[in-house]
Amino acid sequence: MAATTDAPVALKKNYLTALKEALDEEMQRNSLMLCQGEDIGRLGGAFGVTDGLQAKYGEDRVVDMPISEAAIVGSAVGMALNGMTVMAEMQFIDFISCGFDQIVNMMATYHYRTAGEVNIPVVVRGPAGAYGGGALYHSQMNEAWFCNSPGLKVVCPSTPYDAKGMLKAALRDGNPVIFYEIKELYRKREIEEELPTEDYIVPLGKAAVRREGTDVTLVSYGQNVYHCLDAATELEKQGISAEVIDLRSLVPLDEETIFNSIAKTSRVIVVNEAPMTCGFAGEVVARITTKAFHLLDAPPSRVTRMDTPVPWVKPLELHVLPSVDKIVNEAVRLVKF
């Protein structure tokens, strides 16, 4: 008979559970924190990120709001001005545009226009990204809008560990943070991982090296990190060693980790699922060209979504988005340059 043990079994957590734990723990830690958004209380949110929080903390701290992103963000700014920390949920990040004025003209600018006297501890978070058949209204990655707005921090974690640690860090930061969550990763079993039982944060502004390599650097964030990792596996079969950098944080951007990698590989591809024109991949390429041109043996390259809305039909959706094959083909081209 096999020996038995009473030792607890460490359970792996998914991306969604990690986010829920972060909100729960921060609400316990900070009595001045509240959450608000559409259907986040009684229904627990469209995807369940806030499930159970209203029952635990009450309707005054987990607030069901009208279908008005402008009201959600605007009232969050008002409460932040009165000493509260606020998590404002966008039911889908696509509809953050309905609160755009409040975010870029109010939330982002307060610290500057008060000469640094006023902080705005608001985290605007929500599900983002494509690959799930959500079509044009439920598939966007519009992060470049907010990277272009001074005063905002912008982050996009790709793992459960980072999702929890970065959300906790964002809620403690004091600055307004736009927090992109990849909905296709919420319940993805392949990326589940054990999380520390003790309190931890993942500092904003620091990239992670997900795989080391010597021939080409693949820079990405969010779901595309996994496309890059799969591409690196395929490239290895062709004798090409790819290093994979997960930016995690777009603003502030960890240039040092990117440049250190390019110093080894001399080639770089930036991958993201936003459109190519004026997308954040272009900003990364511009900084590489300006500050690390001397390290390159080939022009920096991008693999992005086509400049089109995301189609609903699956073959067309995959056609316009980055893929493992597109990354592999571009890496092979660069190595042969």
> What is the predicted pLDDT for the residue at 11?
85
Lowest mean pLDDT among 6-15, 176-185, 208-217, 252-261: 6-15
> What is the predicted pLDDT for the residue at 3?
43
pLDDT in tens, 259-291: 999 999 999 999 999 999 999 999 999 999 999
Which amino acid is it at 176? P
Per DSSP, the three-state class of 189 is: helix
Angle at 256 between CA 254 and CA 261, to 5 degrees: 110
- d(Cα 337, Cα 333) in Å, to the nearest integer? 6
- d(Cα 185, Cα 14) in Å, to the nearest integer? 8
Rounded to an integer, the average pLDDT of 227-233 is 98
- d(Cα 224, Cα 302) in Å, to the nearest integer? 12
pLDDT in tens, 101-117: 999 999 999 999 999 99
Q: What b/e string do you get for 279-304 counting C-beta neighbours within 10 Å, with b at 16 or more? A: bbbbbbbeebeeebeebbebebbbbb
Q: Same topology for domains 15-191 and 208-335, yes or no?
A: yes
| First CA to last CA distance, the chain | 62
Asked whether the predicted pLDDT for residue 9 surpasses 70, the reply is no
Instruction: Note whether 120 and 80 are within 8 A (CB).
Output: yes
Per DSSP, the three-state class of 192 is: coil
Residue 28: pLDDT band by 50, 70, 90 thresholds? very high
The CATH fold of domain 208-335: Rossmann fold (3.40.50)
The CATH fold of domain 15-191: Rossmann fold (3.40.50)
177 CB-side CA count, 13 A: 28
pTM of the model: 0.95
Domain ranges of the chain: 15-191, 208-335
Count CB atoms within 10 A of the CB of residue 193: 14
Of 111, 138, 227, 294, which one is the catalytic site residue? Answer: 138
Residue 5: pLDDT band by 50, 70, 90 thresholds? very low
pLDDT in tens, 190-199: 999 999 999 9
Determine whether 138 is an active site residue.
Answer: yes
Residue 4: pLDDT band by 50, 70, 90 thresholds? very low
Mean residue pLDDT of the chain comes to 96
pLDDT in tens, 138-177: 999 999 999 999 999 999 999 999 999 999 999 999 999 9
Instruction: Note whether 33 and 85 are within 8 A (CB).
Output: yes
pLDDT in tens, 300-309: 999 999 999 9
Nearest CA among 51, 62, 72 for reference residue 27: 62
Q: Tell me which residue has tokens 């606020």.
A: 86
The DSSP letter of residue 159 is S
Rounded to an integer, the average pLDDT of 202-218 is 98
Which amino acid is it at 163? A
Asked whether the predicted pLDDT for residue 295 surpasses 50, the reply is yes
